[in-house]
Amino acid sequence: MDIQRQNQSVQVVDKSSSGAVRRAIETFAKKLEFDDTQRGRIALAVTEGANNIALHGNGGYVLFKQLDADFGNGIEVLFVDKGPGMHNISECFQDGFSTGGTMGQGLGAIRRNVDSYEIFSSRDRGTVLLARIGKTQLPTQRQFSYGAVSIAVEKEFVCGDSWAVRESGDKVFALVVDGLGHGPGAAEAAQAAVDCFMSVALTHVTEVLERIHLALRKTRGAAASVIELDRKTNELNYAGIGNISAVILDPEMNTRSLVSLSGIAGVEARKIQAFNSKWCKDSTIVMHSEGLMSRWDLTAYPGLIRKDPTIIAAVLARDFSRGKDDVTVLVLSTRRATAS
């Protein structure tokens, strides 16, 4: 089965929304052939998570998708709100603790029914809780840490953006693609780029991007960027066509933007050029489609940079989405090498 990189999204307006979240997750888990016990665990976890969003987060949404192959066979769920935040996260996970007049079982129930979880909460900005549950045991060690969210614009069922990551020896290659426009035509272009990226020989970013450009000839085209990180030499190569943004954050949170050239992959690319530089082993790299505003600033979120890259991606998508386009955010990091 192909990995589904798009996040499915269910809005949480009030406590009654938890039923819609539960049904959507159960249908998805059944499609992935989770057994009855596993489906029951994840249904309980997402019901409690959705209830928490409704009761304490002033509403929000739940995102879920199939885990990428590097994470094992499972489901990844993000509970996202813009509420007042948690003042004491450890206390909130204790059974019996409640700020909303309930029995205080929600976060504890999530913790007991998933295989891994992590949370980021900031006062007056909201909370993001990441949970993963595996059909088989999830790996505890990965060579490289990355995470992404890819969300369709409102009223569209498919996302016109996509992303992919591949490892080859000491090198990591990553792709972010934004199909022209949105809807099925954009999604077709994005999927063609991912299919090409996942099958092509990983030689150099310019050659990979050239192959993607050719593969998109029969589609409406897309913006696409490919990054190559060499963990042995600390070299970085980057090549882009169109308006995909990529930023490197060093350990001191200084930022450096990478350059994409104008054009549309599959339609017109006058020049495909790589830009080479060194990068620090403790760097974080953020790549995103045009659906995310470029004025984001991670220094406004103390402690976020140390969280799972998927949480970083979800926070950025929550707070800086333009709201009128699909949005994809991919975060790569060497700060963390273990799954939470």
Q: What is the pLDDT of residues 302-340, one digit of tens each?
A: 999 999 999 999 999 999 999 999 999 999 987 654 443
Tokens (6 digits) for 178: 């934004």
Number of H helices, E strands in the chain: 7, 15
Instruction: Judge whether residue 252 has pLDDT over 60.
Output: yes
Place of tokens 């272009």: 189
Give just the sign of the alpha carbon dihedral 258, 309, 83, 328: positive
User: Is 170 in contact with 151 (CB distance < 8 Å)?
Assistant: no
Most distant CA atoms of the chain, gap in Å: 63
pLDDT band at 104 (very low <50, low <70, confident <90, very high): very low
Q: Is the pLDDT of residue 37 over 60?
A: yes
- At 63-88, the pLDDT tens digits run 999 987 666 678 999 999 999 887 65
What is d(CA 165, CA 176) in angstroms, rounded to the nearest whole number?
9
pLDDT digits (tens, 9 = 90+) for 110-131: 889 999 999 999 888 899 999 9
Q: Can you tell me the distance from the alpha carbon of 49 to that of 19, in angstroms, rounded to the nearest whole number? A: 11
